[in-house]
Chains A and B, each alone.
Chain A
Amino acid sequence: AQKVTQAQTEISVVEKEDVTLDCVYETRDTTYYLFWYKQPPSGELVFLIRRNSFDEQNEISGRYSWNFQKSTSSFNFTITASQVVDSAVYFCALSVGSNYQLIWGAGTKLIIKP
Chain B
Amino acid sequence: ETGVTQTPRHLVMGMTNKKSLKCEQHLGHNAMYWYKQSAKKPLELMFVYSLEERVENNSVPSRFSPECPNSSHLFLHLHTLQPEDSALYLCASSQGAGPSYEQYFGPGTRLTVT
On A, residues with C-beta under 8 Å from B are 32-33, 35, 37, 42-47, 50, 52, 91, 95-102, 104-106
Q: Which of B70-110 contact A (CB under 8 A)?
A: 88, 90, 92, 97-100, 102-108, 110
Pick the residue among A35, A43, A52, A100 that contacts B97 (CB under 8 A).
Answer: A100
Which range contains the number of B residues in contact with the other chain? 20 to 34
Q: Would you call B42 an interface residue if the criterion is a C-beta within 8 Å of the partner chain's C-beta atoms?
A: yes
Specify which of B43, B107, B108, B110 lies most central, judged by the most chain A CB atoms within 10 Å of its CB. Answer: B43
With A43-B107, A45-B92 as given contacts, are A33 and B100 in contact (CB-CB < 8 Å)? yes
Contacts A/B (CB < 8 Å), 29 sampled: A32-B99, A33-B99, A33-B100, A35-B102, A42-B107, A43-B107, A43-B110, A44-B105, A44-B107, A45-B90, A45-B103, A46-B105, A47-B104, A50-B100, A50-B102, A95-B99, A95-B100, A98-B99, A100-B45, A100-B56, A100-B97, A100-B99, A101-B45, A101-B56, A101-B58, A102-B43, A104-B43, A105-B42, A106-B42
Chain B residues closer than 8 Å to A100, beta-carbon distance:
31, 45, 48, 50, 55-56, 97-99
* Distance, CA A97 to CA B99, complexed state (A): 7
Chain B residues closer than 8 Å to A46, beta-carbon distance:
105
Contacts A47-B104, A95-B99, A100-B99 given; 6 further ones with Cβ under 8 A?
A: A44-B108, A45-B92, A91-B43, A99-B99, A100-B55, A104-B43
Pick the residue among A32, A43, A47, A98 that contacts B98 (CB under 8 A).
Answer: A98
* Distance, CA A45 to CA B42, complexed state (A): 13
Chain B residues closer than 8 Å to A52, beta-carbon distance:
100
- Whether A43 and B88, one on each chain, are in contact in the complex, defined by CB atoms closer than 8 angstroms, is yes
* Distance, CA A50 to CA B108, complexed state (A): 22
Chain A residues closer than 8 Å to B110, beta-carbon distance:
43
Q: Which residue of A lies closest to B58 (CB)?
A: A101
* Distance, CA A1 to CA B88, complexed state (A): 27
- Whether A47 and B102, one on each chain, are in contact in the complex, defined by CB atoms closer than 8 angstroms, is yes
